[in-house]
Amino acid sequence: MLAIKNNIFSDPRHFQIITLGCLLFLLLIWNDFAPTLDVVALTMASTVITQFLFFKFLKVKSNDYRSPFITALSLCLLFKTNLIWLYPVIGAVAMATKFLIRVENKHIFNPANAAIVLGLFFVPHHVWVSPGQWGSAIWLSFALISFAFIVLNRAGRADISLFFLTCWFSLLLARALWLGDPLSIPLHNAQSGALLIFAFFMISDPMTTPNHRGARFLFAFIVAVIAFILQYSFQVREAIFYALFFTCMGTPVLDYFLKANQYQWRKI
């Protein structure tokens, strides 16, 4: 405990847990469609237990449970279903993808993102994401916190968040200019809380993004373009999640051609 306290700024995951935790707290007290506490508890329990079981089964000697917490928090903030038992199932699926789908000692998918996409794909009549649940007031504070997170972790892999947001906003802006729309429309679209959670806590997952900086830029660009096409040409409301899922499959290829050191979470 003391070690964590002393090293609170040493690992970007601590920022993630604190920020996502604050967001969930805000959602719980302020949003009319927030997850209930049992949903939060079930999701947390399921991700932690799944990680524990995989550690045990794979004989991994670790007491690191930050990743399941981050995954559970992300799921609570984004994932919705009308079947209460699906929350722990999705939590377990999320953690399972981390251990089961791996190439070269790296997992391919961000656990929460993979679980959302698999849920949307396999149980489409019971699963949804509410990108509209975030207002613009919360957006500003969230953007500031996330920006601080990037600055403080400039040595990490958070550059991909900025790459992605830059590409995404450029596409939105280009679309507005082409359509002759007022700039208030792309600005309004940019103020989506779900988009920021995605940009700062999903696509930025250092374990699932390419090791090479140039490859990361390419990765972010591809995600933005796929998401843009899915959203505006195919009316897919969960476009960014699908786009990341598909692009992640290409990470091993990018890593193969553009070599760089693999990311290591700083040790406590």
Partner 1 sequence: MIRLLLTTMVLITMSTPGAQAFCGFYVAKADADLFNEASKVIMARHENRTVMTMANDFKGDVKDFAIVIPVPTVITKSQVNVGDSKIIDHLDAYTAPRLVEYYDENPCNRTLYETDMMTAGAPMALRQSAEAKESAQALGVTIEESYTVGEYDILILSAEQSDGLTKWLNQEGYKMPKGAEKVLGSYIKQDMKFFVAKVNLDKFESSGYTYLRPLQVAYESEKFMLPVRLGTLNAKGDQDLLLFTLTKQGRVEPTNYRTTKIPTGDDIPLFVADEFGEFYKAMFAHNVKKENMKTVMLEYAWDMSWCDPCAADPLPASDLRKLGAWWIEGANTYPPGRPVPMQRRMIMPPGGGAVDTYVTRMHVRYNAETFPEDIMLQVTEDRENFQGRYVMRHPYKGEASCEEAGSYYSELQGRFEKEAKTLANLTGWDISTIRRKMEANGQSFDIKAKIDSTPWWEQMWD
Residues lying near partner 1 in the complex (CB under 8 A) = 32-33, 80-82, 125-128, 130-136, 178-182, 184-185, 188-189, 192, 234-235, 237
Q: Which is nearer to partner 1, 185 or 225 (CB)?
A: 185
- Both tokens of 33, joined, read 């469609």
Q: Which is nearer to partner 1, 129 or 207 (CB)?
A: 129
| Closest listed residue to residue 91, CA positions, set 108, 59, 69, 61 | 69
In the complex, minimum distance from the CB of residue 173 to partner 1, in angstroms, rounded to a whole number: 14
149 φ, ψ to 5°? -60, -45
In the complex, minimum distance from the CB of residue 217 to partner 1, in angstroms, rounded to a whole number: 28
CA atoms of 53 and 96, how far apart (whole Å): 10
Q: Which is nearer to partner 1, 125 or 259 (CB)?
A: 125
In the complex, minimum distance from the CB of residue 33 to partner 1, in angstroms, rounded to a whole number: 7
Q: Return the amino acid letter for 12.
A: P
Q: Map tokens 């405990």 to a residue.
A: 1
In the complex, minimum distance from the CB of residue 168 to partner 1, in angstroms, rounded to a whole number: 15
CA atoms of 51 and 70, how far apart (whole Å): 12
Q: Which is nearer to partner 1, 158 or 227 (CB)?
A: 227
CA atoms of 131 and 78, how far apart (whole Å): 8
16 φ, ψ to 5°? -60, -45
Q: Which is nearer to partner 1, 80 or 216 (CB)?
A: 80
The answer to whether 253 and 129 have CB atoms below 8 angstroms apart is no
CA atoms of 261 and 103, how far apart (whole Å): 15
In the complex, minimum distance from the CB of residue 184 to partner 1, in angstroms, rounded to a whole number: 4
